[in-house]
Structure 1
């Protein structure tokens, strides 16, 4: 089916957005809990734990483009992408639970199962992110579709990020608590899998076009798309900054706020709650000023909020939570406009080459994003190691020095703020707006 110019039905938007339960849970919980699980429950040294978290997800840099190419060349009665939503989504759910099953106290076991989970996730995420470019060719509709998706993503982050620590504590922390948390998140992933598969059954699947004959040719074509490469570099670097902050939530709540029981949950609620409220505002802002300017504005809001939290030791907890909400407002805009600009880049490539290769573009995108999200905990772990953070195998964080606590503070605030702001320099020269897309499509016609 050709992709339509008119607005998509509400049921399709909601169905597609439900996939955010999968991407939100997998993108949030490992970054939030896996590093402290390794350091404070399994007793793995902070530097080694950072490598164990980074290495399996770095594998996605290789596997995601392959997953994209496979989905580009798939032909089924369900379309090219939806079969992967079902099969890979189920695999992600069961493997995620296995990560925290911990039959032995072994960081190597965690790393190997995390590697398998990341592989399955690649075959869900890449086709899922490719779908908007084939569901509609309307410039504004892509923003509306991403607004729905990011709104559900915020809900997924709130549910998984805020409740996963609660479930862990409810079942006694340590290994039993993490096992229960793994099952809880696996159920969320299964719900998102079913919702995205069934909810998009009436969605357009796009034109069936030939793809480049080899993966190498496809990668070269993607590299030649200057708008895409600029956006990709910015998004990867920002993902690393965001993930650095995410990895520090539990540490920040325990060491700076001195609230190990509820601090992480409240931080997540403050991060996600305001984001849900401002989604319509970001949508209108983007319609008025353009996606690029809106993306830059959202990034600066994130960076400013994160930097101000660096004053946490001199602020009441209520002020810290308000600033966390400001960070969430910026994050929401970053996600909406980054993800809305991606299908624009894919559409420009299709107009220029006449080839069907959305999967390869999204494979590179998700590989970069996943690598950035994996790099964040590694960066935070290196900051902890540099400032002398002491690990523990008791399930409770060890007493830390003032220097170690300063490392937690800087890793949670200043480092993410600087990384997110500096990443914007990669967008210099990005010129793919609605008028430019229309020119490309007219040239192709």
Structure 2
């Protein structure tokens, strides 16, 4: 790592901002399905909880296979034409899938509605993968050093937070009335933001590589996807980082999926979803630079372990707030959610900025394959979180309903709802922390 920390090119703010703009659309795609799709299925379309969870999980099986393949293809494309931007252009179409997924034809409920949503979710995930894999590989392609990679990801984290925050507040607010038309209009509006974001990012990648130089993948890059997978799995540090992030992503997306249920059935006010999401994601706007300064002094590994520990403790601390009545419960929950939001910013910044460090150690020829495995793990976590929560709801006997008519829930169902929101995330994040402690590549500079 010593050579990686020597003097290196420094990207301009304009190029970094244009590149990071792609994270706005990524934030929308990650947030809206993660936050609202499970609730949309169970409480608007009348899909049983367990079936709704499968609807979100099964499309991700495609991602597990496709992402590493796209990573290898991205390496071959970079070798052949000198850049990875061709695949990224598919991201401009991602908004079409978003709009269609929430625009379920009138009359479709239950299993038929789940099939419609699931099919469009597959299409959206494929388009997202085509954009995400080369986009996230870009920092590994740059001829920059250890700290400059963190700076690149700090810019990306800020714009990602803008996307997460904007979607996290706007989406539930636009769909607050609960009708199918409200969800459809919300999706169409945010889809336009996603298209613009992807288009700007394609130009940003060009500017960033022009300023910092492009590290061409080696001649062995991308010839064998299975070989790339085996190489990634044999890399001890990369394996620890990926498994840790798999459980981290599962935890954070479970939290997102559970939030609308908590505001509806515990606090009795679905409008609180937008408030809590704002409090959760808002701190990340200032926490990113703070975490970046932390990493320069203490190292990324320590920052990531601290973020994981705080998030796990915060999940357990949510239970007292949910047990309080009225405004007191809302205030306590809001305070805990803000602290968890600061930890969430660290989870994203440190984990993503450590991937190029592993790639730099393993060799640039593996960049696409390693990134493909990483994004496959990320996609698995985004689906596993809502699925785990839906399974907890199903075990508790949660009753699904259609728009405008929330069903009365039993005490067992409400208990399951709360345990899934507090205890289960704490347990999953503890597993993530256990894996992360096995990472040895990073050290405080």
TM over 0.5, shorter chain: yes
User: 8 Å contact 2:76–2:222 — kept in the other structure?
Assistant: no
Deviation (angstroms), 1:76 = 8.6
- Give the structure 1 partner of residue 178 of structure 2: 173
Deviation (angstroms), 1:28 = 0.9
Q: Distance in 2 between matches of 1:97 and 1:218?
A: 35
1:319-365 CA distances to partner (integer Å, 9 max, x unpaired)?
Answer: 21011001100010011000110000111111xxxx52211111100
- Give the structure 2 partner of residue 54 of structure 1: 57
Q: How does 1:84-233 map to 2 (within 5 A)?
A: 84-86=87-89, 88-104=90-106, 105=108, 106-169=113-176, 172-204=177-209, 205-210=214-219, 211=221, 213-233=223-243
Q: Distance in 1 between matches of 2:394 and 2:222?
A: 46
Work out the number of aligned pairs and report it: 426
State the secondary structure of the residue aligned to 1:258: coil
1:214-236 CA distances to partner (integer Å, 9 max, x unpaired)?
Answer: 11211111122111111000000
State the secondary structure of the residue aligned to 2:232: helix
Stretches (4+) displaced over 3 A: 75-79
1:65-105 CA distances to partner (integer Å, 9 max, x unpaired)?
Answer: 1111111111499843222222x112211111111121251
State the secondary structure of the residue aligned to 1:43: coil
State the secondary structure of the residue aligned to 1:371: helix
Q: How does 1:2-401 map to 2 (within 5 A)?
A: 5-75=8-78, 79-86=82-89, 88-104=90-106, 105=108, 106-169=113-176, 172-204=177-209, 205-210=214-219, 211=221, 213-260=223-270, 262-312=271-321, 313-314=323-324, 315-350=328-363, 356-401=365-410
Stretch of structure 1 that moved more, 285-294 or 101-110: 101-110
Q: Normalised by the size of structure 1, how large is the TM-score?
A: 0.92
State the secondary structure of the residue aligned to 2:104: coil
User: 8 Å contact 2:19–2:203 — kept in the other structure?
Assistant: no
Unaligned stretches of 5+ in structure 2? 1-6
Q: Distance in 1 between matches of 2:422 and 2:444?
A: 38
State the secondary structure of the residue aligned to 1:310: helix
- Give the structure 1 partner of residue 3 of structure 2: none
Deviation (angstroms), 1:402 = 2.4
1:394-430 CA distances to partner (integer Å, 9 max, x unpaired)?
Answer: 3442122222122111111221122112211112332
Describe the shift of the 1:396–1:275 C-alpha distance in structure 2 as closer, same or farther (beyond 3 A): farther
Q: Normalised by the size of structure 2, how large is the TM-score?
A: 0.92
